[in-house]
Amino acid sequence: MKNKKNLVIILIILCVFIGAFPLAYIKNSEFGGSDGAAEDVITEINPEYKPWAESIIAPPGGETESLLFALQASFGTGIVCFGFGYYFARKKFKPEEKESEELFR
Measured between alpha carbons, how far is residue 29 from residues 46, 62, 81 in Å? 29, 6, 34
What pLDDT is attached to residue 47?
A: 86
What pLDDT is attached to residue 35?
A: 67
Alpha-carbon 51 to chain mean position = 27
- What is the rounded distance in angstroms from the CA atom of residue 33 to the CA atom of residue 65? 7
pTM: 0.40
For the chain, 105 residues long, give each residue's pLDDT as a single digit of tens: 577 788 888 988 998 888 788 777 777 666 556 667 787 888 889 888 887 877 777 777 767 777 888 889 999 999 999 988 888 888 777 766 555 555 555
- What is the rounded distance in angstroms from the CA atom of residue 9 to the CA atom of residue 26? 26
What pLDDT is attached to residue 79?
A: 92
The answer for 28, left when phi > 0, alpha when psi is -120 to 50, beta otherwise, is: left
